[in-house]
Amino acid sequence: MKTPAGQLSLTLNTGDVIPQLGVGVFKVDDEVCEQVVADALEVGYRHIDTAMIYRNEGAVGRAIAKSGIPRDELFVTTKLWNSDQGSETAAQALQTSLDLLGLDQVDLYLIHWPAPLRDQFVETWLVLEDLHRAGLTKAIGVSNFQKEHLERVLEAGRIVPAVNQVELHPAFQQRELRAFQEPLGILTEAWGPLGQAKYDLSELPGLADIAKAHGKSLAQVVLRWHLQEGIIIFPKSSKKERLQENLDVFDFELTSDDMAAIAAMDADRRVGTHPDDGNW
């Protein structure tokens, strides 16, 4: 796909290009999601991250259809929910998502959680490989997988996941997991890249000084840090002005000292669900 001018992209292990900054629609109600996605597309986003469990794939699809933007200029990710894991149900789940999105193919399809108590993620991964070969998704990956989950998928499958989407923000940087997966060609995506407002960014020591030096907000500095770390991000907002602000991070660069200072903010502070507990 074509990445908008001035924005950054990464190359997946499939050879496909993914815009590094997208928009997420987690907890965006269906009735407002269409406008949020329309606003995001209008201000310049071309990467949209949704999921079956968000119950807004239909709204995403309507916004895409009305935008008039050529399909090859968009990158669309959706995810398989836990209750649809298994060899008998995963394929139909993707077809349902495609129908709701109004698309023949998604760019990236993820297993949303390993759900280890269900213990179906390995057989589900093999179904995703079939869906990829059938052309229903350009790339396949996982979300919230830890090292031990990835190892089982890598042992059983023939395709290396293109991405692993995990909780990641300055207070929880996932250095050990990244050191394992990225050399294998698995890119890291961050959900909750700003900490999901579960802590105040101003609490992070030195972040305000970095923001002041660059004339940017705390959030813009954190988003820029993710980009320079090589992480794919999709911050969420239902406000058009905030969507624009989050996109305004391509006109400055953090110094090596800035990057080191933010790296030192890691406190191993998970604020979301632990992957072992995501068994709904």
Residues involved in catalysis: 54
Can you spell out the DSSP letters for the chain?
A: -PPPTT--EEE-TTS-EEESB-EE-TT--HHHHHHHHHHHHHHT--EEE--GGGT-HHHHHHHHHHH---GGG-EEEEEE-GGG-STTTHHHHHHHHHHHHT-S-EEEEEE----TTT--HHHHHHHHHHHHHTTSEEEEEEES--HHHHHHHHHH-SS--SEEEEE-BTTB--HHHHHHHGGGT-EEEEESTTGGGSS-GGGSTTHHHHHHHHT--HHHHHHHHHHHTT-EE----S-HHHHHHHH--SS----HHHHHHHHTT------S--GGG---
